[in-house]
Amino acid sequence: MNLEKLKDIEAEFLEQYPLGFEDAHFFPTMKKFKPEKMQEFATEALKKENFQNPALVVDGFFKTIQKSVMVSLFDKLKLKDALAELNSYEKDMLSIELYELLYGNKKNGFEGLIEFLSQYKLAKWTLISIVPYTMNRQSEYFIKPTTTKMIIKYFELKGLEYKPKPSYEFYEMYTKYLDEMKNNCAKSVTFDNAAFTGFLKIGIEMGEE
């Protein structure tokens, strides 16, 4: 990992935007980005007690994704259509994978959700990672393909090769890299994991201009 590049873009970023993402003048789009409200909604919609009712969990899963500004409308519509066709058994299976992902064996849940959504050609990084990130914004990461590829290449993250189909092994290794990078940056850009990867993307673009 090239930490020198990281410190360079952080210095340039904070020189232009001393308050980081708190400066609404520089980042008007941040007004639409309300991760605290999303976290509050998802935590309630997907709380442990709700898993006694698989239909309620599937509904909470979709509504969490539907409310997110980070997932494309196209994917939301495709997911809506797929979930509308699920029978009771399939809702049961999906809720089991989501429980493992959020409260049990994360690896099993992650891989199980990939397998489940693959049946509908919906095993995409954005759909797999959005709910864990929304509920745990300081420990889980939202994986946006273009941003992820930029970060891997620019910061020379060894042993990582982005692939369109999600995998837990990639997610785990990428998370470790990002956590290390966060530990080397100011709090004004690390308060939220999606904001942090957004900062990296902006910093890379600034450095390449």
Q: What is the pLDDT of residues 49-62, one digit of tens each?
A: 999 999 999 999 99
Residue whose structure tokens are 């308050």: 19
The neighbour count for residue 6, using CB atoms within 10 Å, is 19
Q: What confidence score (pLDDT) does residue 33 get? A: 62
Residue pLDDT, tens place only, 152-180: 999 999 999 999 999 999 999 999 999 99
Residues of the chain with pLDDT under 70: 22-33, 207-209
Let me know: does 116 contact 99? Beta carbons within 8 Å: no
Which of 198, 195, 70, 45 shows the shortest CA–CA distance to 127?
Answer: 70
Residue whose structure tokens are 């982005």: 162
Q: What confidence score (pLDDT) does residue 206 get? A: 81
Q: What confidence score (pLDDT) does residue 32 get? A: 59
Q: What confidence score (pLDDT) does residue 157 get? A: 96
Let me know: does 56 contact 50? Beta carbons within 8 Å: yes
Q: What confidence score (pLDDT) does residue 177 get? A: 97
Q: What confidence score (pLDDT) does residue 26 get? A: 55
Q: What confidence score (pLDDT) does residue 138 get? A: 93
Using a cut of 0.85, tell me whether the model's pTM lies above it.
yes
Q: What confidence score (pLDDT) does residue 67 get? A: 93
Angle, CA 193 vertex, CA 190 and CA 196 arms, to 5°? 50
Handedness of CA 31, 33, 39, 44 (dihedral sign): positive
Q: What confidence score (pLDDT) does residue 151 get? A: 96
Q: What is the spatial distance between Cα 61 and Cα 91, in angstroms, rounded to a whole number?
A: 11
Handedness of CA 25, 28, 30, 32 (dihedral sign): positive
Q: What confidence score (pLDDT) does residue 45 get? A: 95
Q: What confidence score (pLDDT) does residue 208 get? A: 66
Which parts of the chain fold into alpha helices (H)? 3-16, 35-45, 54-67, 73-84, 88-103, 106-118, 125-135, 145-154, 168-182, 193-208
> For residue 104, what is the DSSP state?
S
Structure tokens at 165: 């189909």
Q: What is the spatial distance between Cα 177 and Cα 188, in angstroms, rounded to a whole number?
A: 19
